[in-house]
Structure formats: structure tokens, C-alpha cells
Amino acid sequence: MTLDDDPKLDDRSPPPAANLSRKKATPPQPAKKLVIKLVKAKPTLPAHFEVDTWAKLQSAIKAIFLKQPDSCDLEKLYQAVNDLCLHKMGGNLYQRIEKECEAHISSVLQSLVGQSPDLVVFLSLVERCWQDLCDQMLMIRGIALYLDRTYVKQTPNVRSLWDMGLHLFRKHLALSPEVEHKTVTGLLRMIERERLGESVDRTLLNHLLKMFTALGIYAESFERPFLDCTSEFYAAEGMKYMQQSDVPDYLKHVEMRLHEEHERCLLYLDASTRKPLIATAERQLLERHISAILDKGFMMLMDGHRTEDLKRMYSLFLRNRPAELIAKFLDEKLRAGNKGTSEEELEGTLDKVLVLFRFIQGKDVFEAFYKKDLAKRLLLGKSASIDAEKSMISKLKTECGSQFTNKLEGMFKDIELSKEINESFKQSSQARTKLPSGIEMSVHVLTTGYWPTYPPMDVRLPHELNVYQDIFKEFYLSKYSGRRLMWQNSLGHCVLKAEFLKGKKELAVSLFQTVVLMLFNDAQKLSFQDIKDATSIEDKELRRTLQSLACGKVRVLQKLPKGRDVEDDDLFVFNEGFTAPLYRIKVNAIQMKETVEENTSTTERVFQDRQYQVDAAIVRIMKTRKVLSHTLLITELFQQLKFPIKPADLKKRIESLIDREYLERDKSNPQIYNYLA
């Protein structure tokens, strides 16, 4: 209908007075038409759309698995997947594809059971099976790419089609232990035959080991038994060759074997295997026979001036950690419990170590590790002899100067001063009037600059210990105003008196172990989460602490259920029936044991200090010379620095100083540096 048909519009015309207006009247506009469109009915899918579409896709997937051509072209199959996904049927489609893949993979792996007794033939069948699966999953993923990009991405905890195929293969390989075991055995036999000089199919080895890596079972299923077999093989070979060969020939054989193992890592083994593999071979071929090699061969080679053989021996036994190892050796000799050594023998050993110490270049590395070990000996009372400790520091001072031993001497001063502070504290009014009874506490006050750095670790202490800390802090700050005390909980250790059914015992424990054990004064059974909430100890440290108390040799606590690892849902009960022949028992303080992380952090700290020393040396040289070529600067740096460093690292430090505008490259010659005042 049109607007002109509405009779009501006549009533809206202006009255006659409107004609008196001076303005020109607006001519009437043509009427607009209002168009009303009919809504089309929503399209409906055919009754059997999902079933029919899946039948088409299922036929194609079966054809892929059977390596047969399919009547439907790929474009139509791809469009079929799109249609199902667009109509919210992606979930059902994924489950149906997964079911088809699982049925095929299960059937293929079952068909391998009882196959050829010839291991090489069997391995070829496994490889063919794996290669076929990879090709087939790629084709299926190509058809169902839209499913992978929409439903799979939008749905959490759903694997991609490729990962789903790997998961199913891994699952059914585990359900066919005969196939997995026979495959691993075949791989190990092939590698052993290669070590014995036979020719093997390295491509086959490469493909199968890549299969293990892709499935995520390489380390557990292959690497572990492989390293065990390697250890057995070289243990037997080392014994045989040591008896049959002289030292030069034996070293040539070892060199050849290590080269072969490096080659295997390049050709077919996973890169992660290189380090443990070489370590295993070296342990069986070199470490086990080191005394015999040196006793039988070293002097003979020296007397005969056999430079090549000596060079080979040196390269095989070469280790780049002499400074760290010397520090560890001294820690072993100076630590309490080193029985059977008189003071004269110990002094003689220290003198011999000093001779070796003169030849190492990384004296800063030695100082860092020696300081870390000395700190543990002093703080835990583990030093065998304070006189021997001071004698060693005196020798180092004579050898390297007072600057080298300044921090080590400062550590001894802190220990002696701490004794005086503790005596003064015990005599103070605060200690006599405010301290809780039944607790004795000794505090080491350490100067930050002298001691190794320790990461802060939070812990919620029992009320009695908190009171003691607060009173000591009040006393110390009243005596030394302006100073700041920071408690290092990770270094604390205690002696607890405990009552068991068979009598009383004293437990020498760490502070963290103390905090955990004191919770059982008020509770018979606690969960891991209860202990964590009550102590505020970080997760990793708490697990190690509970392991030492419930899973070690001295089991003051019982863990439910039993096991080596501490899980979140474990329960812990005080072991009232604990017995031990000794009255005082030491529970290993796990957090005080040396760890790989400690060694790494010490090495990194040394590297950081070296960077500052290199920067200072460069600036010092350039400030004197003003202008210097790159070659001459590097030469002078090698003369001034007291530790080994690579030219590439020096170049990085020079670039860093250029970025910070200490130096600049000469505009006419980039090989010349100018000092910027």
C-alpha cells in the first residue's frame, strides 16, 4: 500500500492563515512506498545428512588405510568436512575419525606379533608400518584440515589429528609389549654388531629411533637399556684390551671408540644421548683403568719422548674443571671425619695441592668453590682443624696476595666475632628476662660481602623461635645501630629432643626439618597440604625435607601410602616406634647437600665477576693508550687477565663498552678503537 491511501493525512494540512506567510510554499513531495518482504523459511538439512556425509568420508579413510583409490575426489571430501563442521557436527566427526584410526593401528600392530624371527626383517616391518601410518595420517589431516583448524583449536584437551595418531600408536604399542620389546632388542643387537665391525643399515636405525622420539618413549624405552648395554660392552672390552695391549695401543683404541660413539650420535641417535653415552664409554674404558694406564704407561711414554702418545693421553684425560676439583679435594681433606690423617700428613698434602694450584689458570673459580665449601664447614661445625684451615689460607695468601684471601679471612673474623656476640647476648638483660625457657640458640652474624650468596627462603617459625629471634635482633641493633639483620633460614640447624616409645633421642636436623617435626607436638597425622600451609616452606624444599624425614635411613615420620616420592595427597604420621642404637642421631639435611644448581650458580657468578674484570681491564688499557688497534688490545688483555678467556668473549665485552660509549670505532679504520673521555 502507499502513504497516499491514508485518510488521516488530510487532517494535518495547514490552516488558511498559513497562506499569509511571505516564504515560498514548499511543493508537495511524492509519496514513498513501504516495501514489506516475506521471511523465507529456514533451510533444513536432509534427514540423513550426517550419516551419508560420514559414510563418504569413512569410505575414503578406509581406502587410505588399505592403500586403494577412492571414487570421491579430495575437493568433495574436504567440502564434506567443512559442511559437518559448519553445522556443529565437528565433535562427532572427530570421534568417528579417531575410532577408525584406532581400529586400523590396533590391527596393524597386532599383525606384527609373531612375525619373522630375523630381527632385521622384523625391524623393517616395523619401519614400514610406521612410515605408512605417517603418510596416512598426513592424508587424513589434509582432508580434515578444516576440522583441525576449527573444532580442535576451539576445544580444550583435544589433540590435533596428527597428535591423535601418535597417541594411538603409542597406546597400542604399549598394549603389544612383544612388539616393543622385540623392536628394542633388534635395535640394540644391530648397534652391538656395528661395534663389532659388521655393516648395518644405519638408515633403518635412524628411522626407528626417530619413531621412538616422535612417540615420546625414546628415553624410557630405548635410551636406558641402550646405556646399560653400552656399559656392559665396554666394561668387558676394557678388561680384555688392558690385558692384551700396551698403553699406547689401548689409548688409540679408546680414541677410536669415542670417535665412533660421537659418529653414532650424528647419524642415528638422539642428540640428548650424546652426553650420557660418552660418559658411559669413558667411565668403562678410562676411569676404571686410570691407575693401570698411568702406572704402566706414563713414565714409559715420558722416557721415550713419545709426544703423540702423550698428547693422546692428555686429550683423553683432559677435563676443564681443575680449579673446581682442587677445591673439592681440599674440602674432603679439611672436613671433619677424615680419619687416619695426622696433622703432619695433612700439612704435607696441603703443600702438594699448592704446587698443583700454581698451574691452574682459573684461580677465581677455585676461590668461589673453596669459599662455598669453607662456609659450609664453618657454619655446620664440620671443619677437622681450624689451625689447618688457617694454614691453608696463609699459603694461598703467600701465593696470590692478600686481596685473594681477604674474604676468606673475613669469614673467620665473623665466626670469632659471633662467639663474642653470643656470649654478650647471654649476659644481657634481654636474654635473662625475656627468653623462653628450655631453648638455647646460637647466632652466626655474617658480613654479606665475605660469604657466598644464598637465596632467601621463607618459613613460618614456631612461636618460641620467633620470640628468640626478635629478642636477639633487639639486642643486636641496640649494640650496632644502623645495621640490618636478614635471617638465612636455609643455613639454620638444630638439635631436637624427641620422646619415642623406646626412650628419648636427640635429633640433629636442619631448621626446615625442625619446623616440620614440631608440628607433630599438636597433631598425630598431617597431610602434605596441612604441613605446607602451616610452615610456608616452598613446595620443592618441603618435598625434599619430608623425604629426608619419612623416606631416608632415619624415618622419624611415616608416609602414607609408602613410596619414595612425596605426593600432594600423602599423609604423614609421627613414628612413635622409631628405634636407633645411638642417642644422638643425625638426619641428613638434604638442603645443605651440594646440588647441580649450586655448582651452576657458582660458575655463573664467577662468569659475571669475570665480565666486570674484563670491562675494567679494557677501560684501563684504553684510558692509558687513548687509541689502539683491535689486535694490540686483545694482546694486552691476555697479558693482564689472570684467567683464560676466548677471543670471541673479549669481542663481546668490547662491543658492550662501545654500546655504553666508553669506546668508539675509528671512522677511517674500524679495526682501531678510540677512548671516549
**CB burial readout 640-666, b (16+ within 10 A) else e:** eeebebeeeebeebbeebeeeebbeee
* CATH code at position 557: 3.30.230.130
pLDDT, mean of residues 38-46: 61
The pLDDT score that the predictor gives to residue 227 is: 95
Q: Report the candidate in 375, 514, 392 with the shortest Cα–Cα distance to residue 444.
A: 375
254: pLDDT strictly greater than 90 = yes
410 in a domain, yes or no?
no
Considering the domain architecture, whether residues 430 and 484 belong to the same structural domain is answered as yes
Q: Point out the least confidently predicted range of 8-22, 217-231, 467-481, 638-652.
A: 8-22
C-alpha cell at 74: 579430495
**585 and 534 belong to one structural domain:** yes
Question: What pLDDT score does 262 carry?
Answer: 94
The C-alpha cell 636474654 sits at 431
Q: Residue 225's domain is classified under what CATH number?
A: 1.20.1310.10
Length of the chain: 677
Looking at residue 638, which CATH number applies to its domain?
A: 1.10.10.10
pLDDT at 338: 65
Is the CB of residue 507 less than 8 Å from the CB of residue 517?
yes
The verdict on 386 and 437 lying in the same domain is no
Query: Residue 19: which pLDDT band, with cuts at 50, 70 and 90?
Result: very low
Beta-carbon contacts of residue 599 (< 8 Å; ≥ 6 apart): 324
Q: Which of 261, 286, 317 is the last residue of a domain?
A: 317
Q: What is the percent of the chain where pLDDT is above 90? A: 36
513 in a structural domain: yes
Residues 231 and 304 in one domain: yes
What span, in angstroms and rounded, lies between the C-alpha atoms of 410 and 429? 30
Q: What is the pLDDT of residue 196?
A: 93
500 in the same domain as 481:
no
| The 525-527 sheet, strands edge to edge | 525-527, 571-574, 557-560
Position 167 scores a pLDDT of 95
Residues 363 and 262 in one domain: no
Please check whether residue 552 lies inside any domain of the structure: yes
54 with 200, same domain: the answer is yes
Strand partners, 383: 335
pLDDT in tens, 542-578: 888 888 888 878 888 888 888 778 888 889 998 888 8
Q: Which domain holds residue 287?
A: 217-317
What pLDDT digit, counting tens, does each position of 174-201 carry? 999 999 999 999 999 999 999 999 999 9
Residue 295 lies in a domain: yes
Beta bridge partner(s), residue 628: 673
Whether 122 has a pLDDT exceeding 90, the answer reads yes
The per-residue pLDDT of the chain, averaged, comes to 85
Higher local confidence (pLDDT), 20 or 179: 179
In a domain, 407, yes or no: no
Q: Is the pLDDT of residue 411 over 60?
A: yes
Q: Is the pLDDT of residue 5 over 60?
A: no
The pLDDT value given to residue 32:
67
Query: Is the pLDDT reported for residue 645 higher than 80?
Result: no
Torsion angle of the four alpha carbons 271, 274, 276, 280, in this order, in degrees rounded to the nearest 10: 150
Q: 68-77, 97-106, 114-123, 360-369 — which one is most confidently predicted on average? A: 97-106
* 70-86 pLDDT, tens digit each: 777 888 899 999 989 99
Residues 234 and 304 in one domain: yes
Looking at the structure, tell me whether residues 363 and 386 fall in a common domain: yes
Check residue 106 and give its pLDDT. Answer: 94
489-533 residue pLDDT tens: 888 888 888 888 888 888 888 889 889 999 998 888 889 899 999
Q: Say if residue 20's pLDDT is above 70.
A: no
Which set of grid coordinates corresponds to residue 131? 612410515
pLDDT band at 639 (very low <50, low <70, confident <90, very high): confident
Strands (E) in 344-492, as ranges, are: none
Q: Among residues 471, 489, 507, which one ends one of the domains?
A: 489
- The reply to whether 5 falls in a domain is no
Q: What is the pLDDT of residues 346-402, one digit of tens each?
A: 888 899 999 988 888 778 888 888 998 999 888 888 888 888 899 999 999 998 888
Mark whether 162 and 306 lie in a shared domain. no
CA–CA gap between residue 128 and residue 204 (Å, rounded): 10
Residue 9 lies in a domain: no
Query: Which one of 535, 568, 594 terminates a domain?
Result: 594
Helices and strands (H, E) in the chain, number of each type: 28, 9
In the predicted model, what is the mean pLDDT of residues 210-226? 94
Residue of 415, 521, 349, 520 whose CA lies nearest to 531: 520
The per-residue pLDDT for 493 is 85
Best-predicted range by mean pLDDT (264-273, 570-579, 646-655): 264-273
Average pLDDT of the residues in 605-613: 77
Query: For position 180, what pLDDT does the model report?
Result: 93
- Whole-number pLDDT of residue 27: 59
* Count of domains for the chain: 6
On whether residue 226 sits in a domain, the answer given is yes
pLDDT, position 601: 66
Are 585 and 602 found together in one domain?
A: no
Rounded CA separation 602/563 (Å) = 33
> In the predicted model, what is the mean pLDDT of residues 572-600?
72
Average pLDDT over residues 48-59: 90
pLDDT of residue 202: 94
Question: In the prediction, which pLDDT does 589 show?
Answer: 57
The C-alpha cell that represents 212 in the structure block: 621412538
Alpha-helical segments (H) within 428-462: 429-434
Task: State the Cα–Cα distance between residues 489 and 460, nearest whole angstrom.
Answer: 10
Task: Tell me the one-letter amino acid at 281.
Answer: A
CB-based contact 492:468 (threshold 8 Å): no
**What does the angle CA 349 – CA 350 – CA 355 come to, to the nearest 5 degrees?**
95
Task: Extract the C-alpha cell encoding 504.
Answer: 628419648
The model's pLDDT over 123-150, given as tens digits with 9 standing for 90+, comes to: 999 999 999 999 999 999 999 999 999 9
Could you tell me if 357 and 396 lie in one domain? yes
Mean pLDDT of 292-310: 88
